[in-house]
Amino acid sequence: MNLNFNILTKSTFEKKVVVIKKNDRNIQKIEIIDKSLESTSKDCRYKDLSYYQIALKTTNLFFYNPIHVFLKMSYNLSMIGFDFVDQNVKFVVYSLKDLYTAVSDPYKIDSKIVFLALQNIIKNYVVTRFLMTKYWIEDAINIIKAPIYGVAIQVTLLFTLIYPNDGRKLISVLFKSWNNNISRKRDFRIVDDKDKYSIIFFYRVISNRENPYTFYPFSQLQVIGSLKDKDIVHFKTLL
C-alpha cells in the first residue's frame, strides 16, 4: 500500500477549465487539478466545490462512514456463503454437462469419452475448491481491513475540514486502496451496461471476481479522473 502523505508543504492544486466530450457535445467545466499529477495518467481531477460544500459532505461522510464499514463487512461475510453456493452449483452444472456428453447415447458409449468426462469432473472439482478457498481468503482479508480503513478515513475527514483539497486527495487514496485499487470507473452505479438494473447485472456485480465492480461513496469528494482520459478535449488554467 503506497500512500503519499507528503501533502502539507505547498498546495499543488489549481483551478482549470476542462472541456469534456459527452454525447457528441463539448461541455466546459471548472475543476480542481492536482498539479503534481497533471502530466501523468494518474487521476488528478476533482469537482470544483466551495469550502461549505466540502465541509457539508465531509460531515455527512463522517456520520455515514461507520455504516459503510458495517455494510462492507456484512457484504464480504455474505459473499462467503455466496461463493460456497456459486462454486458448488457451477461444479454440479459442469459435471452434469460432462456426464450427459459421455452417456447421451447409451447404445454408443465410448470408454475414452467416459474417461475424459471423469477427468473433467475431477478437474472442475479441484478448480471450484481452489477458487472457493481463494475467494474466502479475499473476503476474510476485506472483513479484517474494513474497520482499519474506516478509522483512517474518520481521522482524514477531520483533516479535510482544515485542508479541503489535500483531504479529498487523501480520502480518494484511502478509498481506492480499500477497494483494492479498483478504478472508480468500475463503480457499479456509473458503469455503462445494457443490463443495468436487472437481476443479470446484479449477479454479474457480485460474481465477477476477475474484473470486479466496486462502490465509492460520496463521489463528489472522490477524484473523478485524469487529464489524459479519452473524453478530455483540452484544458487550460483558469485566469
What nine digits make up the cell of 170?
487523501
Q: Which three cell numbers stand for residue 216?
A: 465509492
Distance CA 169, CA 222 (A): 7
Q: Quick check: 31 and 48 in contact, CB under 8 A?
A: yes
Which DSSP string corresponds to 118-174? HHHHHHHHHHHHHHHHHHHHHHHHHHHHHHHHHHHHHHHHHHHTTSHHHHHHHHHHH
Residues 71-96: what's their mean pLDDT? 92
The mean predicted confidence, pLDDT, of the chain is 85
Q: Is 179 exposed, middle or buried (0-12, 13-18, 19+ CB in 10 A)?
A: buried
Cα 239 from chain centre? 36
What pLDDT band is residue 10 in, cutting at 50, 70 and 90? low
Q: What is the pLDDT of residue 143?
A: 95
Quick one: pLDDT at residue 151? 96
pLDDT at 107: 66
**How do residues 194-223 score in pLDDT, each as one tens digit?**
777 778 777 877 877 777 888 888 888 888
Rg (C-alpha) for the chain, rounded Å, is: 24
